[in-house]
Copies of this chain bind each other. A is one copy, B any other.
Amino acid sequence: MPDEFAFLTTLRAIATHPAAAGLADDTAQLDVGAGKLILTSDTIVETVHYRPHDPPRSIGWRLAAVNLSDLAAKGATPLACLLNYSLSGDADWDRAFLDGLDDALTSYAMPLVGGDTVAMPAGAPRSLTLTAIGTAPPKIPLRTGAQVGDTLWVTGKIGGAAFGADGEPRDLARYLHPVPRVAEGQALAPLATAMMDVSDGLLIDGQRLAAASNVALTIDLDAVPLALPGPVLDAACAGDDYELLFTLPEGMDSPVPATRIGIASPGTGLTLTADGTPVPLPAKLGYRHGN
């Protein structure tokens, strides 16, 4: 997408404030008095980020979950959110969407405090934005902090939201109802040397973590915790897991349930192994999207 690349390059030239951190992260950090806020915003578009026949209740839940997952990766505590909603012309759809959103906001104690509601021209795809604000922990884990010798970990299981050969999610419940790791993120924040959420695929996000930290990461494919039996590379290249990927200092155990899947070593890039021997990287490591 050359247009997107050009756009993001121009956008980064505008977003020069330190809080933007070059738009290299999913979140911004904003100084307010004594503390910091974590800001994140995600837009989901019908047919691009979800299927038109997905249940509206799940779309509402997922819009909250993707933002909460970004807060989780910073160890932030949800504080408030704003909803920018495009009316669909289908009151039942709108109501079910709000039910799902409300369910997530209540579950994670993130009150809705504002936003905007607009009507779209007839036939236009829905475009739904949530902006989430959280309070930052004293030490905010970044993508950039992994050190040589650190161990690499992931929470939960990988690949459940992947699409199977039949074009359907392999684990429909997991796809429709991702569970952001907010409490785990808070517990990990003081300890993790680097952390991010796995939204686009374990491998592509692992590659991003390696690049941001300027280390080489090696993932042992035999260790990757799979949501369902099947080829590990399919699972590791699928998106929508919303698990946390993080590094810990050598010898430290994870304070939350998680699986050790690799190590950081001198060098750059991502390397895969299975049965102790190198495995070539797949051509496509995951789903790529914008800033």
Contact = CB atoms under 8 A, between A and B. Distances in A.
Contacts of A125: 120-121, 124
A77 interface: no
A112 B6 contact: no
A83 to B, nearest CB: 8
Nearest to A67: B116
Nearest to A112: B15
Nearest to A82: B41
Given A111-B20, A112-B15, A114-B41, A119 B4 contact: yes
A84 interface: yes
A133 B32 CA distance: 11
Contacts of A105: 14
A48 interface: yes
Contacts of A291: 114-117
Contacts of A45: 86, 118-121, 124
A33 B30 contact: no
Given A11-B117, A41-B84, A119-B290, 16 more contacts: A7-B85, A7-B95, A15-B114, A28-B80, A28-B113, A30-B133, A32-B32, A32-B33, A39-B114, A41-B116, A48-B121, A84-B84, A84-B131, A116-B129, A116-B291, A129-B129
21 contacts: A3-B87, A7-B98, A8-B117, A11-B112, A19-B111, A20-B112, A23-B114, A28-B113, A30-B80, A32-B35, A34-B34, A41-B116, A41-B131, A42-B116, A43-B84, A45-B120, A48-B119, A82-B131, A115-B291, A118-B289, A118-B290
